Structure 1
Amino acid sequence: MATAGWTRYVAVGDSITEGLCDAVAGDRERWMGWADRLAAILDSATGGIEFANLAVRGRRVTDVLERQIPAAIALDADLVSVMIGGNDLMTAVADPDALAARIEGGVVELRKRGIDVLLATCFDPQFAFFLKPLRGRAAVFNANLWSIARNHSAYTLDLWGMHELRNRSMWAEDRVHLTTAGHRILAGRAARALGLDDDEEFPWNPPTASHHLPLTVWARRYALPWLGRRMRGVSLGDGMPAKQPSPEPVAARR
C-alpha cells in the first residue's frame, strides 16, 4: 500500500517516544526508539523525509498540548504521531475521559491544518502487576481515543491489541519501557497503521533474552526512586530539551 507522500514527520510524547532503553549501538547514552525507527521506514518508502522528535521523558498531556503540538505545527509537519497519557493515568486522581477530551483538542488543531495524525492508544497494563489496578481507566481512555481517531480521520496505532507485548523480553528491566525488540515491533506496527504492510518487511521473532529483575532489586532500583520523585512532584525529564527539536533529513542521520 502506498503512503500519503509525507515529507516532514514530527513525533510528540514522553519517554516511550523518546526511545528510552533502545540504546544506539556502541553508545548507551543515546536512544533510538520506535519513532526514529518509523522515520527510517517512512524515508525508505517515500524516497526522502525529514524528522523531528520532540518527546521528553516524564511529559504529560498538558506538555504535549501546550508545547509539543504547537511546536510541531510551527515546524510545518505533515505527519505527527501522538503517544501520551501513561504518566497522567498513573496519578491518583486521573480522569481518563477528561484526558482524552484534552487530547482531542490537540488532534483537532492538527487536523484543521491538514496535518495527518497517528494517534496511539496506551498499552494494556496487565503486563506488570503494579500497573494492573490502572487497567480499567486505561481501557476507558483507549475507548475514547478510538472514537477521536474515527471522528477526526486519524490513523490509529493500537498498542493495547499488540499481544506480542505480553512477552516479558519485550520490556526493559525497569518494567515500564520497551527493549530494542519492543521498539522495533512498535515501529513496524506503526508503519502498518500508516499504510505499509509489515508482514514480510518487519517480521517478529520472540527474543530469548530476559531483563526480569528480582522483585526486591527492581523495587530498590526503580520503584522506590520513582515513588520518591512522584511525591516531590519532579520528573527525570525536568529541564531536558526535546530529543531532536529541528527537522533533519532521515537519510543524513544514518
Structure 2
Amino acid sequence: MPARRSAVERGDIPVSSFVALGDSFTEGLGDETPDGALLGWADRLALMLADRSSAPFRYANLAVRGRVIDEIVEEQVPQVAELTPDLVSFCAGGNDILRWGSSVDRIAERFEEAVVELGAGAKKVLVFTGFDPRGTPVLRRLRGKIATYTAHVHAIADRHGCLIVDLWSMKALQHPLAWSDDRLHLSSEGHRRVALRAAEILGLGPMNSGPAPDALQGSGRQPQRLEDLRWAKEHFLPWLGEHLLGRASDEVPEPKRPELLPL
C-alpha cells in the first residue's frame, strides 16, 4: 500500500481520465451553481486534475441520487471495464445503512466485490468512508453502525491497494457550514473541502484550501430543540418517506455526465 501511494504522489501514474460512481454525494447535491446545475466534489476534483494533466483530460460522472449499493454495482460499476479510466472513485452504501434492518457486513461484502471489479478496469481506485453523524439529530443514533462500516472500508482499501478519503476524520465537516439546510447533503463549502482532500490523497497537494473561517473550526453543530424539530418536519421526514418507505417518484434520474468526454 505505501509503495503504491508513493508512486501516485511522485506523479509516476498520471491521471488523464476520471470516472465517478455513487449516489447523491458524488452527483453533487447541495452544491448548486447560480443557474441551478449541480457541481459537487467530483466535478471540482476533475477540474483540478484537468489543470494538472499534460494530456487531454476526460471525465464522466455516473452517480445518481438515491441509489443503494446493489443498484450502483449493477448499473454503474460494469461501465468502468468499458471506459478503462486512469482513476475511478467509488462511494456507496450510505443509503443502505440508513435503512432499517440493513446489515453492515453484507453491505461491506458488496462493496468489496465492486472494488475488485473496479480494480480490473481502472488503474487507481479511490474510495470514501462514511461521515461522522454526531452533530445530526436522529442520524447520530446510527453512529456506531456507520463507524463499523467505515472500519470495513479501511480494511477493504488496505487489502486491495485503494486510495481512501477518510470523511469520518475531517474536522471541517463537523460544522454546520459544511452542510446544506437538509443536513443530509454537503453544502458548496463541504463539497469544496472534500475535493481538496481527495486532491491531496491523489498527490496533487498539499492543496491551498484558502483561509479557514472561524466558523469551520468549531466542534460541530449545537442545535436547539426547536430547530431539530423543524428540521425533522421539513427535511428528514419527507426524505424518509421518499427513500425508505417506498414513496419515491417513479421518475428515474439520469447521470449528469454519462460519457467519458473531454472536460
CA distance in 1, matches of 2:114, 2:250: 22
CA distance in 1, matches of 2:184, 2:209: 23
CA distance in 2, matches of 1:231, 1:103: 21
Other-structure match for 1:38: 45
- Greater mean alpha carbon deviation, residues 223-232 or residues 140-149: 223-232
**SS of 1:38 mapped into structure 2:** helix
Other-structure match for 1:136: 144
The equivalent position to 1:221 in structure 2, one of 227, 230, 234, is: 234
Give 1:220 shift. 2.7
Other-structure match for 1:168: 176
**SS of 1:80 mapped into structure 2:** strand
Other-structure match for 1:197: 205
CA distance in 1, matches of 2:26, 2:129: 13
Unaligned stretches of 5+ residues in structure 1: none
Give 1:231 shift. 5.0
Opposite residue 162 of structure 1, the aligned amino acid is: M
Other-structure match for 1:11: 20
Q: Once superposed, what is the RMSD of the aligned Cα atoms?
A: 2.1
**SS of 1:105 mapped into structure 2:** helix
CA distance in 2, matches of 1:126, 1:5: 37
The equivalent position to 2:72 in structure 1, one of 31, 56, 64, is: 64
Unaligned stretches of 5+ residues in structure 2: 1-8
CA distance in 2, matches of 1:33, 1:207: 23
Give 1:234 shift. 4.1
Opposite residue 249 of structure 1, the aligned amino acid is: P
Give 1:163 shift. 0.9
Matches within 5 A, 1:1-254: 1-3=9-11, 4-24=13-33, 26-28=34-36, 30-47=37-54, 48-199=56-207, 201-203=208-210, 205-206=212-213, 214-230=227-243, 232-235=245-248, 238-250=251-263
CA distance in 1, matches of 2:177, 2:86: 34
Give 1:207 shift. 7.1
Give 1:160 shift. 0.5
CA distance in 2, matches of 1:232, 1:58: 13
| Aligned sequence identity (%) | 39
Q: Normalization by structure 1: what TM-score?
A: 0.90
Q: Size of the alignment, in residue pairs?
A: 246
CA distance in 2, matches of 1:64, 1:11: 11
Indicate if the aligned counterparts of 1:58 and 1:236 stay in contact, CA closer than 8 A. Answer: no
Give 1:130 shift. 1.2
**SS of 2:142 mapped into structure 1:** helix
**SS of 2:258 mapped into structure 1:** strand
Q: 1:236 to 1:168 in 2, by over 3 A?
A: farther
List per-residue Cα deviations over 1:206-233 (Å, max 9, x = no partner).
37599x8933432332122112224541
Indicate if the aligned counterparts of 1:56 and 1:237 stay in contact, CA closer than 8 A. Answer: no
Give 1:39 shift. 0.4
CA distance in 2, matches of 1:248, 1:230: 31
Superposition misfits of 4+ residues, deviation over 6 angstroms: none
CA distance in 2, matches of 1:198, 1:238: 41
Give 1:75 shift. 1.9
Indicate if the aligned counterparts of 2:81 and 2:122 stay in contact, CA closer than 8 A. Answer: no
